[in-house]
Amino acid sequence: MNLEVKIDELTLKNPVMPASGTFGFGLEFKDIFDLKNLGALVVKTITKNPRLGNRPPRVYEVSCGMINSIGLANPGWDYFREKILPQIKDLNDILILNIAGESVEEFEYLAREAQRFDEIKALELNVSCPNVSKGGIAFGTDLEALKQIVSSVRKIYSKTLIVKLTPNVTDITVYAKAAENAGADALTLINTFSGMVIDVKSKKPVLGNKHGGVSGPAIRPMAVKMVYDCFKAVSIPLIGVGGIDSKEAALEFFLAGATAIQVGSQNFVEPGFMPRLIRELGEYLREENIEGIAKLTGLAHRREENV
């Protein structure tokens, strides 16, 4: 039984990878499992300059999920390149660098840098973070900006280019098509939903930054629908993410049209979840006598026609 999947030119030994920002740089998880088990390693978003991130509190629980306003806290590209990249480059064969910029130029700068490092196998453009005031989600909801970023980076970056979209739009397929046309090799669907929690005692928003991004099982039905809709709209591979906390949840994404999946918030609740999921997916294929996980991609569409 075969867990291998292909994203553009990359062959992942299995379709399971961490969602950016929920796995640090992987180092925190080394005690729990061997990161070589993962299909790929996706790091926390890196920006050109270091970012402190938003003021705390930055995380809070919500019904069946959590809300965060980390605000892309990260040590910046130079520090990452010098101090972190050497530590993590051998943790997994496929290292995916997630980047964000406050301007097209910053995206270009980072793409140019990433292009130089063989150990970086793919870029994931975060045009969808709801927690930064400049850039962030604004790029992800502004169709023209999205096209410009993707096509500019495409010109510079010749390896696998993944674009991560925000769900906070009227019709995500429009953005998916735009990213595809601008040269994306794959899409990650989705980032967090914009939300807010108000503390009844203090009568103020709980988060220091007032609003944040909602993740976890609460957003899964929306994420699945977006993968399903985009599967019909584009022909590049989709990486599904949003509330995956079980084998069944992961399978929903494959059936909806995902080629691979990312695990986010569940990593906090169960740091050993990803290796368990990989094992369970393998068992599932065996039990169901399905030759490869890739056979599941988009199956919910085909079944429909026979109803």
- Taking CB under 8 A as the criterion, the residue among 74, 168, 191, 265 binding a second copy is 168
Give the per-residue contact string, 223-262, with other proteins (x = CB under 8 A; - = no). ----------------------------------------
CB 19 within 8 A of CB 264: yes
195 in a labelled binding site: no
CB nearer ligand FMN, residue 92 or residue 265: 265
Catalytic site residue 230? no
State yes or no: residue 264 binds a second copy (CB under 8 A). Answer: no
Give the residues across from 65 on adjacent strands: 62
Instruction: Collapse the DSSP code of 177 into the 3-class scheme (helix H, G, I; strand E, B; otherwise coil) and give the result.
Output: helix
194 in a labelled binding site: no
Residue 207's Cα: distance from chain center in Å? 23
CB nearer other proteins, residue 15 or residue 21: 21
State yes or no: residue 198 binds other proteins (CB under 8 A). Answer: no
- Taking CB under 6 A as the criterion, the residue among 21, 167, 237, 257 binding ligand FMN is 21
195 phi and psi angles, rounded to 5 deg: -155, 180
State yes or no: residue 300 binds a second copy (CB under 8 A). Answer: yes
Encoded tokens for 104: 């097209």
Task: Give Cβ neighbours of residue 228 (< 8 Å, ≥ 6 apart).
Answer: 256, 257, 300, 301
Site for ligand FMN, rule CB under 6 A: 19-22, 44-45, 66, 68, 70, 72, 98, 126, 129, 164, 191-192, 215-216, 219, 241-244, 263-266
Site for a second copy, rule CB under 8 A: 62-65, 67, 141, 168-171, 193-198, 200, 202-205, 210-211, 214, 216-222, 224-225, 228, 243, 248, 251-252, 255-256, 296, 299-300, 303-304, 307
Binding residues for FMN, as ranges, are 20, 44-45, 98, 126, 164, 190, 216, 242-243, 264-265
